Amino acid sequence: MPVRPWWGRGHVRPRAWRPSRCAAISCALLTGMGIASTAHAQWSGSVSVTNDERWRGRSLSVGRPAMTVSLGYDDRSGIYADAAATAAALPTGADLVSIGVDAGYALRLRRGIVLDLGLTRREFRGAGSGVRGAGYSEVYLGASGRSLAARILYSPDYLRSGVQTLYGTLDAVARPLPKWRLLGHAGVMAVVRQRPWGDVAGTQFDYSLGVARQLGKVDARLAWSGGLPGRDFYRYRDHARRAVTVSAAIGF
């Protein structure tokens, strides 16, 4: 769930998968926000497809095609809420692999600077990257300008109970030609504290470089991404964390 930059919105002890919990949170947030006057609010959504759903340098769809549906609400006061669900064409058939919700407040300052404060919750169901049945909560603070967006996120339960992490991101965009965008992302995660059986790598990195083209109502993207250290594991064997992905999204 991206920081809200000036150029637009979007884009381990296993715990039991509880989609009803996330669904309830989503409905409560989005329905509750709907009480405000529609003249001061904006609803938006998107549907996107990709050949491989990536999450912090790993595959959530075990290297297979996936589709994400998202719904967002923005109030003129700066309050917002988002919900997104991703399903993938797994070897066992189509299945839901992740669901996430977030809510926060965006403050617009002078010269196009935006400050962003909020909470997010994400849960995983798919078998990708060994995160089946896991999830995490994060509180975040972000800032964005004309071409850069940065965010710092803290989690008290990153994939496993008792694992505390800090995750920092930096995203950049350039517009060399009309309807074209060059995209860059870098992220670093550090474990602040974990129990002896936590077994989460102390420092992890993820990155991506991409190009996007607006084709009418469709936003098409080509990206190269990866992460360090270690390799990804799915389909009973190790895989390089580097991948080339193609995606297309349409907003509504």
Per-residue pLDDT tens digits for 184-237: 999 999 998 877 655 666 789 999 999 999 999 999 999 999 998 888 877 778
Asked if residue 22 has pLDDT above 80, the reply is no
Q: How many CB atoms lie within 10 A of CB 7?
A: 14
pLDDT above 90: percentage of residues in the chain: 61
Residue range 141-174, pLDDT digits in tens: 999 998 999 999 999 998 888 889 999 999 999 9
Supply 218's token pair: 């469709």
Query: Given this structure, which CATH class describes domain 19-251?
Result: mainly beta
Please tell me the predicted confidence (pLDDT) of residue 23. Answer: 45
User: Does residue 156 have a cis bond before it (omega within 30 degrees)?
Assistant: no
- Our CA angle for 150, 153, 158, nearest 5°, is 145
Please report the pLDDT score of residue 12 as a whole number. 33
What gap in Å lies between CA 107 and CA 190, rounded to an integer? 27
Note the pLDDT tens digit of each residue in 107-146: 999 888 999 999 999 999 765 545 556 899 999 999 999 8
DSSP 236: T
217 by DSSP, 3-state: which? coil
Q: What ranges do the domains of the chain cover?
A: 19-251
pLDDT for 28 equals 46
The answer to whether residue 39 scores a pLDDT higher than 60 is: no
Q: How confident is the model at residue 239 (pLDDT cuts 50, 70, 90)?
A: confident
3-state secondary structure of 110: helix
**Which of 38-52, 60-74, 80-94 shows the lowest mean pLDDT across its residues?**
38-52
Helix (H, G, I), strand (E, B) or coil at 21: helix
C-alpha neighbours within 13 Å on the C-beta side of residue 99: 14
